[in-house]
Each structure stands twice: as structure tokens, then as C-alpha cells.
A and B are shown apart, each in its own frame.
Chain A
Amino acid sequence: MASNNNNLINKIEVEEKRARKRMLTYASVPLLLTIILVIISYMVINNAGEEVKELKHEKSELEANIKQLNTSIGLKSDSIAEMKKVMELALNYSDKRYEFNYSVDKELYSRYPRQTEMLSEIRAMIRAGEVKWKLGGSSPEDGFDSPSFASFMINRHSAITVEAANRYQLRDALPKTETPRVGDIVFYEHGYAMFYFEYRNKPFVIGMTPLGLASLTYDFGPKRLGFGRVSY
């Protein structure tokens, strides 16, 4: 009986040890699953975080690009609108041309020799049709815009010199006057800078327009802004 009882107690002890091991095994399964879940989630979220970071960086770059493009579009639109206006005016002044011939030169030369030389040269250029209009151009081969052509001719025929950097500030660079004389510059809206001439008390202007070199009536279209004195 006693040995039976001892056997039973031993069995109980062995069974209890097994039960402990079983419990630890069963408990470790959800613990392991939890650890795996956390590790996988951490990795996935970390990767997502990296992607979000990259996308944010791309977004800020794209936003900067959009801003730059918007500014560029704005500037281009302004430029196009300005060009449209200039072209409209250029088309409108086709009936405002001032026709003149060599007799004008003869009559003017005795009083305004340097200015008349310039006028003759411009007329020759108009006849040859080689000097074209070009925005920002600064040579006869390249072409000119209106202030660039005026500066170029002032430098060739007058007693003053206009620096290349100042050609778009011609209105500020030249002394202002209320009563223009032959050879002075007349400033119009939209950037026109034309030379002032008079023939038999009838004024006309000559210079570069978007349609090329042209001699036009004094009030050919755009509003007059002022005059710049040029010494010869």
C-alpha cells in the first residue's frame, strides 16, 4: 500500500512538472505571435514612414516647381499681352506712315547736318530692309528693338554716348525737354523711342517698330510720354 502511495505521489510530481512545461509552452505561443506582430508592424510602418518622407520631399519640390512655373507663366502672359498690344499698334499705324524722299535731306542738311546724315542712313536702311526688329537685339545683323536702335544711332551720330546697359533707361539717361528739336528722341507708350524730325513745319518720327524701321506721323498711335534731348 505504502509503495503504491509513493508511486502515486511521484506520478503527481511528474505530472505537475509536465503541466508547468505545458503551461509555459501554451503561454509562449501568444507571446511569440505578439512579438512577431510588433516586429512586422514596426517594419511596415517604418517603410511607410520612409515613403511618406520621400513623398513629402517630392511634394515640396513639385510645389516649388509649380510656383516657379506660375511665375514664369505670369511673366510670359504679361510679355505676350504687351507684345499683342505692340503688334496691334504696329498694324494700326500702317496708314500713319510718313513718306519722304531725298529732298527732305537736302533741305534739312544745311541746318542739321549730323541729324540729316543719320536720317539718310536710316532711310537707306529702310530701303535695304536688312535691319529687322528683334526684342533685346543690339546690332544691325542681329536686329534691334526700338530703344536699342535709338541708342545705336545716337552713339553713331551724336555727341553723346549711351551705355549698352542704359539703353532701356534712355528716358532717364537723356536730358528732358518740353519742346523737341530735330534729332531729339520722342518717347511713346509701349517702349517706342523715335527720332524727331520736321519738314516744312510738319513733324514726323523715325525709328524701329515691331514691323521694322519706319517713318511715321508724329501722332502715329501710342501716347507720347516725353522728349529726350540729344546733342549733335
Chain B
Amino acid sequence: MYIQKIILTYKSSIRFRVGFAVLIVSIGLLIILLNAFNLLDFPGEIKSIISISGTLVSSVCAFPIKEIVDRRNQIRLINELSIQHKNSSGEDKKRLEELIWKFIEKNVVG
């Protein structure tokens, strides 16, 4: 139950980051397209700078994507350990439970 709560928290974080990444990429693309179709009222000399700016804005999506990847890996590992915990018994089960919490404490909380 606790594990599921933790995974839900991570999934919520991933959703937020995906939303943020999509928003950033969309803004960057919008700038590039508006500039390409001359819908922005800028002098001709600045057009290439505006295009580069659009690309820079889009590239900011690298920050949330990196964190999304990290969290997905953590969810995968926690799930793996949980499955093994379910399938084990006795002393092994207790050790696995300790291992899961230690992993969470070390890798997630820091």
C-alpha cells in the first residue's frame, strides 16, 4: 500500500513534467513557425535570432525529460523489488522489505 502511494506520487510528478516539457516544446515550435510564416512583426535582420530563440526554448524540455527518465527507472526498480517481495517468504521477505525501504531512502529521498 505504501509502495503504491510512492509510485502514485512519482507518476503524478512524471505527468507534471510531461505537461511542462510539452508546453515548452510547443512554445518553441510556435515561435519558429510564426517566424517562418512572417506572422511576427520583427525586422528582417532579427528573424534568424528569433528562430534560434525558438530552438533554445524548445531545448529547455531536456530538464523535465531527464527527470522523467529517472523517475520511470525508479518506479521500475521499486515494482521489481515489490514483485520479488510478494513472491518470497519468511526471512527473505523481511530482508527484501528492508532493502526496498533502504533503496527508497537512499535513491529517492537522498
> Taking beta carbons and an 8 Å cutoff, which residues of A are in contact with B?
5, 8-9, 11-13, 15-16, 19-20, 23-24, 26-27, 30-31, 33-34, 37-38, 41-42, 45-46, 48-49
- Nearest CB of B to A41, in Å: 5
Q: In the complex, which residues of chain A have a beta carbon less than 8 angstroms from the beta carbon of B10?
A: 16
Q: How far is the CA of A19 from the CA of B13 in the complex (A)?
A: 9
Number of B interface residues in the complex (CB < 8 A): 31
Q: Does B60 contact A (CB under 8 A)?
A: yes
Q: Are B63 and A49 in contact (CB under 8 A)?
A: no
Q: Are B53 and A38 in contact (CB under 8 A)?
A: yes
Q: In the complex, which residues of chain B have a beta carbon less than 8 angstroms from the beta carbon of A20?
A: 13, 16-17
Q: In the complex, which residues of chain B have a beta carbon less than 8 angstroms from the beta carbon of A5?
A: 2, 101
With known contacts A9-B5, A45-B43, A27–B63 Cβ distance under 8 A: yes
For the complex with contacts A31-B57, A38-B49, A49-B43, 18 further pairs of A-B residues with Cβ separation under 8 Å are: A8-B104, A9-B6, A11-B109, A13-B9, A15-B109, A16-B10, A16-B13, A20-B16, A27-B20, A27-B24, A30-B57, A34-B53, A34-B56, A38-B53, A42-B43, A46-B43, A48-B45, A49-B45
With known contacts A8-B104, A9-B2, A37-B49, A42–B42 Cβ distance under 8 A: yes
Q: Are A38 and B101 in contact (CB under 8 A)?
A: no
Q: Are B67 and A19 in contact (CB under 8 A)?
A: yes
Q: What are the 3 closest A-B residue pairs judged by CB atoms, nearest first?
A: A5-B2, A41-B49, A34-B56
A sample of 22 cross-chain residue pairs with beta-carbon separation below 8 angstroms, ordered by A number, consists of A8-B101, A8-B109, A15-B110, A16-B9, A16-B13, A20-B16, A20-B17, A23-B17, A23-B20, A23-B67, A26-B63, A27-B20, A27-B64, A31-B57, A38-B49, A38-B50, A38-B53, A41-B49, A42-B46, A45-B43, A45-B45, A49-B43
